[in-house]
Structure 1
Amino acid sequence: MTVILTTSPGFGKHGRVPERLKELGWELIRCVDTSLPDGGVSAHIARADYMVVGLVPVTAQMLEGATKLKAVLKHGVGVDNIDIPACTARGLPVANTPGANADAVAELAVGMMLSLARNIPAGHQSVVTGGWDRKVGSQIGGKTLGIVGLGNIGRSLARMARGMGMTVVATDPYADKAFAADNGIELVDLDDLLGRADYVSLHVFGGAGNASLINADKLRLMKPTARLLNLARGEVVDLDALAEALNEGRLGGAGIDAYIKEPPETTHPIFSHPRVVFMPHSGADTVEAVENVGLMNIADIEELMAGGKPRRVLNPDVFES
């Protein structure tokens, strides 16, 4: 029997994925114990044929016990928590699911913008606690959205924002210039974007290259009324600098869906700020998106089992050795 080990809480639970796994007769082992550094992987890794990865890092040390493992697949897009060179050294293909959850993440970004613009969390709290605090908000139509990272998610968000009457500017060294031109998106550098945007939405990969991409110096470039959204990775934003900017009135608000440590340490002052909306890394958590991602993972496993070379593999050199 094929054994699938997953560190994703959602893999195999939604849409057509559970039935498909049942049809295939695969055994699914779920390792999501947040009290353990590896989610419980070490107790089962020796039995696994394939690993479907959530947020638990895949390290060279973890792979030492993976004697049967044939491939590592990300239940999502970002692979910054997978040691791809270590996988390659062991001959393990690594694949992700680009585009499968783009609309879901983009929709949450829109939801965060609306929450901040119309004070939705505070309004809800006011009503349910017996108050009637009617705060005057703002409309997002006519505002400028700056998208940092014009990949699948960024492009989906751009289309939605344009449909709501927003002006969109974007920065991405690998941007699809034809898409930008066709959708009226101006491509600019990061500093220009930060200075012009009313909302800045981050959609870049994590890792050392983007650590503190938005730091104290970058925050000083933003309008005092602007709002920052991080639906990327926690390390992309310097939370100390963000809290300082908010406390000093140099930024209008923020929406955060990604954290360096998850769940985060809520003792940090950012978590008590009234102009910040938080979500528990839920950008990709829709039934439709989780189903899409799971079915793509399954399709790639089936292709690998049949001796194929899935096009989503990120280290195709493993097939040449």
Structure 2
Amino acid sequence: MATTNHTAVSEFLLLGLTEDPALQPLIFSLFLSMYLVTILGNLLIILAVSNDSHLHTPMYFFLSNLSFHDICLISSTIPKMPVNILRQDQSITYAGCLSQICFVLIFGGLENCLLAVMAYDRYVAICHPLTYTVIMNPHLRVLLVLLSLLVSVVHALLHTRMVLWLSFCSDVEIPHFFCELAQVIKVACSDTLINNVLVYLVAGLFTGVPLCGIIFSYVNIVSSVLRMPSSEGKQKAFSTCGSHLSVVSLFYGTGFGVYISSEGTDSPRKTAVTSVMYSVVTQMLNPFIYSLRNRDMKEALRKITSFL
């Protein structure tokens, strides 16, 4: 049976974070600055890893991929809002909204999977150091990234396909600064039971499996480190995991925080404000976390900036 598009609208209205005209210039400047800082920070991470031979290791290979996907994720959410503020036009086309949903799910899912892959990399490095380079060979690295991409694309296309079946009435207003899946489902005129069940079911599975993998990896890492006789070895092992643990805590902490706050408030606008944490702030802070807590990365970044 052929699928049909049941929507009756050609565009949506993104209401943004506030309706106060006096705050629009401040929001424009703030989000544009955060976007530029995020792009610059993650590009520097990618350049540092690619130009420094000492960083051509599995850990930094995955880190550079994470930085690239952070750039893609924040580029899927922020640019539309400053443009709308400049044009004083809150509209986004139906196709543009669906594309935004799809790309946010793809790159958000990729970050979720890559954090689990990076935890596995640290597990192999600390628990199986003698066979680390054999296990984490270039073929496996590429395979893990491609597998993460495949899973994320399937996850995103599944939700986007389900949104295509929803009907929307005229003058659809989304109380957000981008087309977030949950908010788009809420403004649909047709029955959304299947969509909501699918969101909770797939999100629980898609988030739960990588998170369980991260927890499993770090339980084994801690157990292995505690058996080390040397205190210097313990400190070195924990230091290599510190940055990753900070990023994992920030990513999942802000995500769960937004979910809990959205369940505890009836104001979609407050939910949009809190969602800035996981959709913008996390991607902006990741380069700082990895560069400030890592001696090799700081040295590589110093070499890069000396040429600029």
TM-score for the superposition, normalised by structure 2: 0.25
Query: RCO greater where, 1 or 2, for CA within 8 Å and sep 6 or more?
Result: 2
More helix by share: 2
More strand by share: 1
